[in-house]
Amino acid sequence: MFAKPFNTSGNTRLKGKDVKKFRVDLLKTCAIADGDKFPWALLAKAEIVKLKLAAPSRTVLYTDAESNVLAFDVNGKGDVVPSMYLLWHEPALREHLPPLIVHSPVSHYLLRGADPMLPGVLKASHSAACPFLKGQLRAVYVNGNPMPFAIGDMLVDGDTATTSGWKGKAMQLLHVVFDELTKMGSPRVIVPDGFTESQIHKVDGSAADEDDELNVDDINLSDELKPAALPVAASTDDDDDDATDDAAQSQSLSVPEMDDLLERCFYQAMRKVKPSDAPMLTNSFYASLVLPSRPVGSSIHVKGTSFKKISTFMKEMAVRGIVELKEQDGVQTITLFRKTHPDVTRHQLHRSEMDVVADLEAEATAGVFVPGKHAPEVVQLYRLTPQTQLVSPGNKASLSLADVRSMLNEYIATHALVNPKEPQFVQLDMHLTDALYHGKNKKPEAGYPDKLHRQEVVQLFLARLKPYHWLQLYPDQEVHAVAGEFRPVHIKTELTKRQKPVTIISNFMANTSTFMLVMTLVKKWACSATLVPAGKDMEVHIQGNLGQDVVTYLAKQYKIASKLCVVEFGKGLKPKK
């Protein structure tokens, strides 16, 4: 909702009745009655300032004296929604607002603008005491963190979630921490424990530790929330005992056992890393690959190994020839990953925390188009016209090129239209002649031929069919045949009136934001880029001769194959060498 920067206008300080109305509207939106006795904390004495977003938006913001956003009204009709800043400072409001609890890895995608999906939501969020209601305002929490990080409207009720098998979109987010609303506030604001810009984590002292959260097999999605309490990780006495046992087991590992665990995680990371990732800082490699490669339920304590420091361990791996290191000014860098080393190839992969996070990610994005995650697939289809149905009467299905060839071969074989002495030619009978030449393919000047080459028969027949196609953006997406030829991404580089090269991208893939493409290209090539209306579609205009660069970028970032792109160079322009 507030992912993009915005401008505001007006600056009105609320007084008296306006402040009271603001509080009443806020409680009404949160479905809280008896507002006269509500125990306000921050809003009891806070100075409230009303701002409006620049036209044509009707959104109204309410801030304090330091520009920290307290609440917002999307349509300006009195539906006042609390901000994260306000919920952090109003315990009573936080307690009354229904929670939606998600797994910690899911928060990574919500912070990037995705909406919560039911597979990533704990079923404990829906209970008899607090059932899902469509349109209900809920605060979003990470399992094990008592502070909310997002707020939105429910898109499903409890019955819908159950009948759908707990799949599909759960909520439409209105505001998430670290968006533009958060950035408006004072830089002195301290975010709650466990909050980072990439992910929201559990906090120390929660009922379940981090290792339990990452073990999908140990997650009990049917745990019920404790009444009149903030959302925390639900657990039983047995679960607590298991967590204690795991921690004790980690501490009780001997030095050789801890060395073995560290090496196993290192080899697992080596199987995952790409040679092209080098050079990479050692601490980055350890944090982003080695630690996530630990077996589920285990912990690595480098000081509990014989190496004591990760830099010492990496030097040992370099001595074995698994990696090559470069050290300068105390900074250690990996310059080569030798994935073919025998110690790496013989390592048996184990189920790691990285695998569990990937599973949760797949569940959270199941059935959702995520640009760049899957390569789009295009299939050209054909349908028979009334005249071409002479070859296959009553056939109204959408046919692929292979289906068309098979249908023609079957007709030719059934009617014995091939002379054994000339197997590459097809004799034309009355129906096949009408199917090939009636309509678009006009009668040849020399008259209808008696025979044609097989390939020519296929080409003439295809020219008589109605073209269709379907586009699948992600696996399991329900697709339907669409009339017409598939329009590839068109990339044209031409000269402007001032003889400056400009690259124009049109026919961009469906469901992919041209606005985000523009923002990304501006940063990538440090050039100007704009969106220009072109009929019902939008074109992206980029400064410079970047035709081939765009094709390479689309293939890498969005997995759009070069065969789905058409590159054209205008007069006086050639591809860059």
Q: How far apart are CA 213 and CA 296, in angstroms?
A: 10
Give whole-number Cα distances, 536 to 246, 490, 506, 513, 560, in Å.
59, 16, 11, 15, 22
Q: Give me the pLDDT at residue 210, please.
A: 39
Give residue 165's pLDDT: 79
What pLDDT does residue 205 have? 53
50, 169: one domain: yes
Residues 318 and 403 occupy one common structural domain = no
> 322 is written with which tokens?
């698994």
Q: How many domains does the chain have?
A: 4
* pLDDT given at position 234: 37
Q: What is the pLDDT of residue 183?
A: 86
| Across 158-167, average pLDDT | 83
Q: Do residues 532 and 515 touch, judged by C-beta distance below 8 A?
A: no
| Rounded-to-integer distance, Cα 50 and Cα 60, Å | 7
Residue 526 reports pLDDT greater than 90: no
What is the rounded CA–CA span in Å between residue 206 and residue 202?
7
In this structure, which amino acid lies at residue 445?
Answer: E
Do both 48 and 178 map to the same domain?
yes
pLDDT surpasses 70 at 520: yes
Report CA Rg, the chain.
Answer: 31
Q: What is the pLDDT of residues 83-92, one digit of tens each?
A: 999 999 999 9
CA dist., res. 169 & res. 166, Å (int)? 9
Domain closes at, from 184, 219, 234: 184
Query: Do 136 and 278 share a structural domain?
Result: no
Q: Decide: 151 and 1 in contact? Cβ < 8 Å.
A: no
% of the chain at pLDDT higher than 70? 86
Q: Which pLDDT value is given to residue 84?
A: 93
Does some domain include residue 214? Answer: no
* Per-residue pLDDT, 342: 92
CATH number at residue 263: 1.10.10.2030
pLDDT digits (tens, 9 = 90+) for 223-266: 333 333 333 333 334 444 443 344 444 456 889 999 999 999 99
Q: Do 541 and 431 fall within a single domain?
A: no
In a domain, 206, yes or no: no
pLDDT of residue 372: 61
Residue 158: which CATH number?
3.10.400.20
Q: Looking at residue 514, which CATH number applies to its domain?
A: 3.30.780.10
Q: What angle do CA 159, 164, 167 make, to 5 degrees?
A: 115
Q: Does residue 5 have a cis bond before it (omega within 30 degrees)? A: no
Residue 281 inside a domain? The answer is yes
| pTM, full prediction | 0.41
How far is it, in rounded angstroms, from Cα 12 to Cα 340?
67
The single-letter DSSP state of residue 422 is B
Q: Chain centroid to CA 80: how far?
A: 29
pLDDT at 337: 93
> What are the structure tokens assigned to 221, written together?
């999605």
CA distance 116 to 360: 12
Q: Indicate if 462 and 498 belong to the same structural domain.
A: no
- The stretch 76-101 carries a mean pLDDT of 91
For position 78, what pLDDT does the model report?
A: 86
Tens of pLDDT along 187-235? Answer: 778 888 889 888 999 886 544 443 333 333 333 333 333 333 333 333 3
Q: Which pLDDT tens digit goes with each residue over 323-338? A: 999 998 888 999 999 9
pLDDT (0 to 100) of residue 154: 92
Same-domain check for residues 512 and 444: no
Which 3 state secondary structure label does DSSP give 187? coil
> What is the pLDDT at residue 246?
43
Say yes or no: 305 and 433 in one domain: no
The percentage of the chain sitting over the pLDDT mark of 90, rounded to a whole number, equals 29
pLDDT value for 439: 63
Identify whether 215 is part of a domain: no
Q: Which residues constitute the domain of residue 261?
A: 255-356
Q: Of 133, 155, 184, which residue is a domain's last?
A: 184
- Decide if pLDDT at 576 tops 70: yes
Tokens of 25: 């509207």
Tens-digit pLDDT profile for residues 18-56: 988 999 999 998 888 776 788 888 888 888 999 988 877
Cα separation, 490 vs 331, in Å, equals 46
User: Pairing state of beta strands 331-337 and 323-328?
Assistant: antiparallel
Q: What is the pLDDT of residue 237?
A: 40
Average pLDDT, the chain: 82
Extract the tokens encoding 409: 């071969």
Question: Do both 86 and 159 map to the same domain?
Answer: yes
Euclidean distance between CA atoms 61 and 59, whole angstroms: 7
Beta bridge partners of 155: none
Residues 462, 491 within the same domain: no
Task: Look at residue 440 and tell me whether its pLDDT is greater than 70.
Answer: no
User: Residue 235 falls within a domain, yes or no?
Assistant: no
59 occurs within a structural domain = yes
CATH of the domain at 393: 1.10.245.10
Confidence check: pLDDT of 540 > 60: yes
- Read off the pLDDT of residues 386-421 as tens digits, 9 standing for 90 and up: 888 888 888 888 898 899 999 999 999 999 999 888
Q: Are residues 83 and 172 in the same domain?
A: yes
Q: Are residue 437 and residue 494 in the same domain, yes or no?
A: no
Residue 249 falls inside a structural domain: no
Q: Confidence band (pLDDT; 50, 70, 90) for 513? A: low
Q: Is residue 274 part of a domain?
A: yes
Domain finish residue from 124, 150, 184: 184
Is the confidence at residue 77, as pLDDT, over 90? no
Q: What pLDDT shows up at residue 512?
A: 60
Q: How far apart are CA 273 and CA 276, in angstroms?
A: 9
Q: Is the dihedral of CA 284, 287, 292, 294 positive or negative?
A: positive
